[in-house]
């Protein structure tokens, strides 16, 4: 192999990378928060919601979990305008990430809800709480605490999966790498640097979520 | 300009879906073989093996599959080989699947109770004998549902190979869209075909989990 690696372009193109990192983080933050919120709503609907809502949510979850993120993205960005729903690439990227995380989050959170001992629902009812109140005040937080590690991993997976949004020209980190390689012809180096940044982001995000877990769920002794 | 009927669209997509299926099979089987080798290094004695596999898994699970595909595509090219898209796609997906499968299987092996190792070593069995007669028969039973479940991830993962130019279902979707200007119909069909490939796998994984999960039934 006589190939001379050249990372000199970093001095010129680092602002492009920084901008890409910013957009990837922004997408992850919005997608993560809204996706978890959607996941909680769907988990409630599937585990405790009205009878007619359960099959609807189940269908949504199965559809999303059994199709590739890339196709969901293309369907939203290229397909929906046929129905008159038009949006920019960042909105489409965010929407796809929210819908995707919502479906996976639903299944994860539902597992947490179903692990709640029945006595907690009965205790809530005996205090005169409605089923929704019991869910919100009694069941939800311990349920989230139980599945927080799994949910964190899923958020990291969504962050890594967001690399695909470069395909609808959302200017994330992968888009930045594509841009740089098209200017410098240093394809391997550009993707190598981007990959290293993704790895650092994944490790940092995992730590941040672990920290968030400690803040959200301070040690509870009762179990 | 030719008119495209719905059947034309569907027929072309189904023809391309063969490549999705083939690439999924190659990646899953190849990934399984590499993953099994990594598993033995991971749970074996010694220092270097487990540390290497740990790093390997961390690298492949901590970076986007798309980046791995790009690096395989351009990285193999550095050796002066003219890299066809299918080769890069196959290599990247095999290595990626191996990382996930080895981690899944490690969990299964470790879920076999510690006492089983001790009991078999007290019978004078060596490492390979323990694996062959005691640990693996139990671990395999636990491993089947999550392994089948992971195959869904492999099928979905192949969609990304369209980006490095491998013509499978997703790429065919883009090509057909560019010819017909009917993205809603085309991507709808593409999604439907992926669903038909993945859903039976997901479902059988769930059913297998219920059937095989004898140990945890009385939770």
Evaluate if residue A26 carries a pLDDT over 90. Answer: yes
> Do the domain assignments include residue B217?
no
Q: Which class for A222: exposed (0-12), middle (13-18), buried (19 or more C-beta within 10 A)?
A: exposed
- Find chain A residues with C-beta within 8 A of B79's C-beta: 1
Which residues lie closer than 8 Å to A201 by C-beta, 6 or more apart? Answer: A21, A24, A25, A159
Evaluate if residue A1 carries a pLDDT over 70. Answer: no
- At B97, which CATH number? 1.10.3720.10
> Do the domain assignments include residue B1?
no
pLDDT of residue B47: 87
pLDDT tier at B106, thresholds 50, 70, 90 = very high
Alpha carbon distances (Å) from B80 to A3, A7, A181, A205: 9, 20, 18, 37
Q: Does the domain formed by A10-216 have CATH 3.40.50.10710?
A: no
pLDDT of residue A220: 62
Q: Tens digits of per-residue pLDDT, B67-89? A: 999 999 999 888 878 889 999 99
Evaluate if residue A222 carries a pLDDT over 50. Answer: no
Evaluate if residue B203 carries a pLDDT over 50. Answer: yes
pLDDT tier at B160, thresholds 50, 70, 90 = very high
> Do the domain assignments include residue B185?
yes
Winning range, highest mean pLDDT, from A10-14, A183-187, A189-193, B82-86: A189-193
Q: Check residue A166 and report its DSSP letter.
A: G
Distance from the Cα of A82 to chain B's closest Cα (Å) equals 6
pLDDT of residue B61: 95
- Phi, psi angle pair for A186, to nearest 5°: -100, 65
- Nearest residue of A to residue B170, measured between CA atoms: A71
> Do the domain assignments include residue B110?
yes
Residue B155 sits in which domain range?
6-212
- What value does the mean pLDDT take over residues B88-96? 96
Contact state of B190 with A62 under an 8 Å Cβ cutoff: no
Helices B183-212 and B136-157: crossing angle in degrees, nearest 10, is 170
- What value does the mean pLDDT take over residues A122-145? 91
Q: Specify the number of domains making up chain B.
A: 1
> Do the domain assignments include residue B218?
no
CB B149 within 8 A of CB B212: no
What pTM was computed for the model?
0.91
Contact state of B78 with A1 under an 8 Å Cβ cutoff: yes
Give yes or no for A163 touching B (CB within 8 A).
yes
Best A27, A58, A79 member to test B by mutation, with max B CBs in 10 Å, is A79
Q: Tens digits of per-residue pLDDT, A170-182? A: 999 999 999 999 9
Domain ranges in chain A?
10-216
């Amino acid at each position: 192999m006589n190939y001379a690696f050249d990372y000199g372009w970093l001095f010129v193109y680092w602002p492009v990378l920084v901008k890409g990192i910013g957009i990837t983080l922004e997408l992850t933050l919005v997608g993560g928060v809204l996706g978890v919120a959607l996941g909680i709503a769907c988990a409630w609907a599937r585990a405790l919601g009205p009878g007619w809502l359960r099959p609807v949510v189940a269908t949504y979850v199965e559809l999303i979990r059994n199709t590739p993120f890339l196709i969901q993205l293309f369907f939203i960005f290229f397909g929906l305008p046929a129905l008159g729903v038009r949006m920019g690439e960042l909105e489409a990227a965010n929407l796809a990430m929210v819908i995707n995380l919502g479906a996976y989050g639903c299944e994860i959170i539902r597992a947490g809800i179903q692990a709640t001992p029945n006595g907690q629902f009965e205790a809530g009812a005996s205090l005169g709480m409605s089923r929704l109140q019991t869910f919100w005040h009694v069941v939800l937080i311990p349920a989230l605490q139980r599945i927080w590690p799994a949910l964190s991993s899923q958020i990291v997976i969504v962050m890594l999966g967001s690399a695909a949004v470069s395909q609808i020209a959302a200017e994330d980190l992968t888009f930045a790498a594509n841009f740089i390689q098209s200017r410098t012809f240093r394809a391997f180096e550009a993707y190598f640097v981007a990959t290293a940044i993704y790895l650092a982001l994944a490790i940092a995000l995992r730590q941040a979520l672990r920290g968030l877990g400690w803040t959200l769920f301070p040690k509870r002794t009762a179990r | 300009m030719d008119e495209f009927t719905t059947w034309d669209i569907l027929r072309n997509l189904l023809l391309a879906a063969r490549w999705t299926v083939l690439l999924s099979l190659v990646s899953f089987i190849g990934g399984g073989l590499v993953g099994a080798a990594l598993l033995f290094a991971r749970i074996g004695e010694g220092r270097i093996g487990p540390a290497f596999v740990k790093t390997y898994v961390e690298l492949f699970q901590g970076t986007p599959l798309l980046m791995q595909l790009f690096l395989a595509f351009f990285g193999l090219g550095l050796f002066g080989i003219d890299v066809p898209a299918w080769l890069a796609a196959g290599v990247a997906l095999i290595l990626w699947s191996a990382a996930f499968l080895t981690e899944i299987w490690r969990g299964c092996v470790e879920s076999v109770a510690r006492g089983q190792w001790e009991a078999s070593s007290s019978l004078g069995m060596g490492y390979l004998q323990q694996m062959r007669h005691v640990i693996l028969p139990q671990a395999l039973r636990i491993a089947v549902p999550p392994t089948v479940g992971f195959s869904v991830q492999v099928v979905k993962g192949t969609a990304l190979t369209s980006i490095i130019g491998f013509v499978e279902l997703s790429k065919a979707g883009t090509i057909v869209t560019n010819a017909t200007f009917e993205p809603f119909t085309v991507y709808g069909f593409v999604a439907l075909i992926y669903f038909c490939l993945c859903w039976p796998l997901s479902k059988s994984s769930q059913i297998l989990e219920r059937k095989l999960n004898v140990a945890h039934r009385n939770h």
